[in-house]
């Protein structure tokens, strides 16, 4: 299959990036430190450590994924090497899919390397791994990485220059990491005409908009995987444990689109929809 050839080459090319592997190395180091924190402050065990690791991953994994993938297509378009790639028996769809798979593989390997370090620390320090929680958080973190790889590849496919791709990638990071936290204020004001209703019950649709941030969807799933106690110790904000994290926030019964399983759908959508939209623009672009 042609796209697999593109994916293998792209994985090899991305793996040669020193800056990328420096970020991965820093991620692995911080994952190990996060797993050690409960022992240092004498509270909790390995499950609490995975909560701290998830808190770090919520910021570091999007950065890693965006750095790994924002030049996947745009870099080759600006350099002109995309014409050589398309001169081989590869369609533009092969290029987009191959780039997505290649860059996703790099990010997933980096995530698992970080959690391997965290798992080793947990075994050495606590004498146990808490395997179910460990595997769950590692897989969820990989899913978060895939979501941001999809966003970055979509950006890269839709743009023709490195500078535009970089600007959009930086913008996406700041929107999700910083500006999204202002949504409750903005939505409450638009809905009620004032901020006096802050802290009161809100319509389910408003919470859905807030949860569309892939990092928020990730946090809800981590809360559910680790349980409320570990999340509270690690500073999370969900209240998971597999129950209803919005019981006191949403007015009326909690709909299906705020349940934990729908957060998986949100992460999957971020991994796929931006790539499709970016490819449609790339497919029709004049190279």
Task: Please give the average per-residue pLDDT across 231-246, as a whole number.
Answer: 50
Count the Cβ atoms, other than its own, within 10 Å of residue 39: 17
pLDDT at 228: 54
pLDDT at 234: 45
Ramachandran area for residue 56 (φ above 0: left; ψ -120 to 50: alpha; else beta) = alpha
Task: Please give the average per-residue pLDDT across 106-121, as a whole number.
Answer: 92
Task: Indicate if the pLDDT at residue 90 is higher than 90.
Answer: no
Please, are residues 209 and 183 in contact by the beta-carbon 8 Å criterion? yes
pLDDT at 238: 45
Task: Name the one residue in this structure whose structure tokens are 């080793």.
Answer: 120
Please, are residues 170 and 184 in contact by the beta-carbon 8 Å criterion? no
Q: How many CA atoms lie within 13 A of 82 on its CB side?
A: 28
- Mapped onto helix, strand or coil, the DSSP state of residue 41 is coil
pLDDT at 220: 94
- Mapped onto helix, strand or coil, the DSSP state of residue 202 is strand
> Mutual orientation of helices 2-15 and 18-40 as an angle, nearest 10°?
70
Proportion of the chain above pLDDT 70, given as a percent? 89
For every residue of 158-185, DSSP letters joined together read H-SSHHHHHHHHHHHHHHHHTGGGGHHH
Count the Cβ atoms, other than its own, within 10 Å of residue 142: 20
More confident residue, 183 or 15: 183
Task: Name the one residue in this structure whose structure tokens are 């042609």.
Answer: 2
> pLDDT category, 43, cuts 50, 70, 90?
confident
Domain tally for the chain? Answer: 1
Query: What whole-number distance in Å separates Cα of residue 125 and Cα of residue 227?
Result: 21
pLDDT at 243: 52
> pLDDT category, 39, cuts 50, 70, 90?
confident
Residues 158-181: tens digit of each pLDDT: 999 999 999 999 999 999 998 998
Proportion of the chain above pLDDT 90, given as a percent? 53
pLDDT at 148: 97
Residue 116 domain boundaries: 2-283
Most confident of 92-96, 149-153, 200-204: 149-153
- Mapped onto helix, strand or coil, the DSSP state of residue 262 is helix
Please, are residues 240 and 228 in contact by the beta-carbon 8 Å criterion? yes
Query: What whole-number distance in Å separates Cα of residue 86 and Cα of residue 226?
Result: 46
Query: What whole-number distance in Å separates Cα of residue 212 and Cα of residue 149?
Result: 16
> pLDDT category, 250, cuts 50, 70, 90?
confident
Q: What are phi and psi of 250, to 5 degrees?
A: -95, 135
Task: Indicate if the pLDDT at residue 239 is higher than 60.
Answer: no
Task: Indicate if the pLDDT at residue 237 is higher than 50.
Answer: no
pLDDT at 236: 46
Residues 3-28: tens digit of each pLDDT: 888 898 888 887 787 877 888 888 88
Residues 209-236: tens digit of each pLDDT: 989 999 999 999 999 999 854 545 544 4
């Amino acid at each position: 299959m042609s796209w697999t050839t593109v994916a293998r080459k792209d994985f090899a090319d991305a793996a040669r990036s020193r800056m990328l592997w420096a970020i991965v190395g820093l991620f692995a180091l911080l994952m190990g430190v996060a797993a050690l924190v409960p022992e240092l402050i004498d509270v909790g065990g390995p499950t609490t450590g995975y909560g701290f690791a998830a808190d770090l991953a919520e910021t570091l994994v999007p950065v890693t994924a965006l750095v790994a993938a924002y030049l996947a297509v745009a870099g080759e378009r600006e350099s002109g090497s995309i014409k050589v790639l398309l001169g081989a028996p590869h369609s533009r769809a092969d290029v987009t899919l191959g780039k997505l798979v290649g860059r996703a593989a790099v990010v997933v390997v980096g995530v698992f390397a970080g959690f391997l370090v965290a798992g080793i620390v947990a075994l050495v320090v606590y004498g146990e791994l808490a395997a179910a929680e460990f595997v769950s958080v590692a897989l969820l973190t990989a899913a978060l990485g895939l979501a941001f790889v999809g966003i970055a590849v979509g950006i890269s496919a839709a743009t023709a220059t490195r500078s535009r791709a970089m600007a959009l990638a930086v913008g996406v990071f700041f929107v999700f990491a910083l500006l999204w936290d202002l949504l409750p204020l903005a939505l409450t004001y638009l809905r009620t005409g004032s901020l006096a209703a802050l802290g009161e019950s809100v319509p389910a649709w408003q919470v859905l908009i807030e949860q569309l941030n892939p990092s928020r969807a990730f946090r809800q799933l981590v809360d559910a995987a680790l349980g409320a106690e570990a999340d509270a110790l690690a500073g999370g904000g969900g209240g998971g444990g597999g129950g209803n994290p919005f019981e006191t926030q949403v007015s009326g019964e909690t709909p299906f689109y705020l349940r934990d399983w729908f957060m998986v759908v949100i992460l999957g959508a971020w991994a796929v929809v931006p790539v499709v939209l970016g490819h449609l623009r790339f497919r029709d672009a004049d190279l």
